[in-house]
Amino acid sequence: MTRVAECGEDEIDRAVAAARKAQNGPWRQTTPADRGRLLHKVAALILENKDSITKMESLDTGKPLAQAEADCVVAARYFEFYAGIADKIGGVTIPLTLDFLDYTEREPLGVVGQIVPWNYPLQMSARGLAPCLAAGNSIVIKPAEEACLSAIELGRICKEAGIPDGVVNVVTGYGSEAGAALASHPDVNLVAFTGSVQTGSTVMQSAAKNVVPVLLELGGKSPNIVFADADLEKATPVIIKCALQNAGQTCSAGSRVLVHRSRHDEVVERLVELAQKYRVGPGIDNSDMGPVISKRQWTRIMDYMDIARDEGAEIATGGKRPEGKDCEGGFFIEPTIFTQASPGMRVHDEEIFGPVTTVVPFDTDEEAAGIANATPYGLVTGLWTQDVTRAHRMAREIAAGQIFVNTYGAGGGVEIPFGGYKKSGFGREKGLEAINFYSQTKNICIGLT
């Protein structure tokens, strides 16, 4: 058993004060090139400690060791990527008349508050921390109470790498106490939050009272759209993986599958066969799929099974706790596939955040786009077709922040901007776009007459 501190408003105050002091002191004097070197050291230390961090993440979240190791590698990649950007964050000159010299600079925002969810605590801490530091900010991270050990370890690694005291602060505690105090703190300059729409709305309201910008990533109900000409040998293994990875507890999970009616039965058959091969068990045993995070989450997902049945959806496979000694008493759920679902059903429209996906037939491209857009979310969409014209056209029709064609996820996608439309949030993490949200533009105009 591991114990962590239950912090609240006082500890948040101290962390923000430390971040502000560092921001106005040694961190402000650190050159962009030196910031980049420090981020490279963080990346190297993550990889040096990969085995211990992987085990820690698996035990803390329940995810299989292979997935935890992949998270560790992606976390290091964030620091490598933004280390290379740190000394390239510059402004532009703006041509006016010969009487003026006008230019812009990108400056740090100051103190960033980052509230991290429990599904990818290491990877998402790194996702915000790396661009935040590259842009010259200091930060206070509040990891989720359900899984916070790797965020604490990441803070320790930053210190070992030589990042000055006070620049990186990790404060554990409950969201209603420490998280709320961070979101509403008057000396925080940006609040970055990943989580539910309901909590994101509360965070935004708290930040708005201080006129502080927010960066929100609020989940999704992302579809994979399988057209008649799709290569099913290539498509279905990817589709089932992106639906079941991390027991479906992924904001960008492909939790809906839209299939041309001519291929519907074949796709269902293939997905069921693949799902039934998944070995469900403790993550530390490196099973194919581990448990969900908590009893509360397990109960919520199982309630959706009853809701789906009541709505008329049919279970093609799964829908219950797996049998076997390894799964007794744990928060395990079989990979579950529903058919006979349609827009308007809660199982189709709402984010379940578990190993549950629905398969829905369509007849035309226009109908597929309509079904894809028929939820409040717009995070990711996968298109599976050999027709490049159709792929381009559908990409324009789909209201989502990321569109993948004949692939999904891009191996973590560190380099590509990530964020949502509609209730999936706003702002962009990852890639060069993230720097725009962790910095601000200053315009300087000099009269030359």
Tokens at residue 14, please?
């101290």
Exposed / middle / buried, residue 296 (Cβ in 10 Å: 0-12, 13-18, 19+) = exposed
CA distances from 11 to 25, 178, 335 (A): 21, 8, 41
Q: Name the pTM for this structure.
A: 0.96
Residue (of 195, 196, 360) closest to 271 by Cα position: 360
Across 18-137, where does the E strand assignment appear?
A: 93-94, 100-108, 111-116
Confidence class for position 412, pLDDT limits 50, 70, 90 = confident
Range 264-281 burial, b when 16+ CB lie within 10 A, else e = beebbebbbebbeebebb
Residues 336-349 pLDDT 10s:
999 999 999 999 99
Residues 91-109 pLDDT 10s:
999 999 999 999 999 999 9
Report the distance separating Cα 134 and Cα 34, nearest Å: 10
Under CATH, which number does the domain 9-218+425-447 receive?
3.40.605.10
Calculate mean pLDDT across residues 315-319. 97
Calculate mean pLDDT across residues 67-88. 98
Neighbours of 330 (CB within 10 A): 18
Residue ranges, CATH 3.40.605.10, the chain: 9-218+425-447
Tokens at residue 291, please?
């448990």
Residue ranges, CATH 3.40.309.10, the chain: 223-413
CA triple 425-428-433, angle to 5 deg: 165
Write down the pLDDT at residue 1: 77
Query: Would residue 233 show up in a list of annotated catalytic residues for this protein?
Result: no
Of 11, 57, 69, 217, which is the active-site residue?
A: 217
How many percent of the chain have pLDDT more than 70? 100
Write down the pLDDT at residue 332: 98
Confidence class for position 45, pLDDT limits 50, 70, 90 = very high
Report the distance separating Cα 281 and Cα 333, nearest Å: 10
Confidence class for position 364, pLDDT limits 50, 70, 90 = very high
User: Whole-number mean pLDDT of the chain?
Assistant: 97
Q: Which residues contact 34 (CB under 8 A, 6 or more apart)?
A: none
Q: Which fold has domain 223-413?
A: Aldehyde Dehydrogenase; Chain A, domain 2 (3.40.309)
Residues 255-269 pLDDT 10s:
999 999 999 999 999
Q: Which residues contact 372 (CB under 8 A, 6 or more apart)?
A: 223, 225, 256, 258, 381, 398, 400
Confidence class for position 383, pLDDT limits 50, 70, 90 = very high
Indicate whether 411 pLDDT > 90: no
Write down the pLDDT at residue 409: 87
Write down the pLDDT at residue 33: 98
Report the distance separating Cα 128 and Cα 139, nearest Å: 9
Residues 201-233 pLDDT 10s:
999 999 999 999 999 999 899 999 999 999 999
Residues 109-122 pLDDT 10s:
999 999 999 999 99
Exposed / middle / buried, residue 70 (Cβ in 10 Å: 0-12, 13-18, 19+) = middle
Write down the pLDDT at residue 387: 98
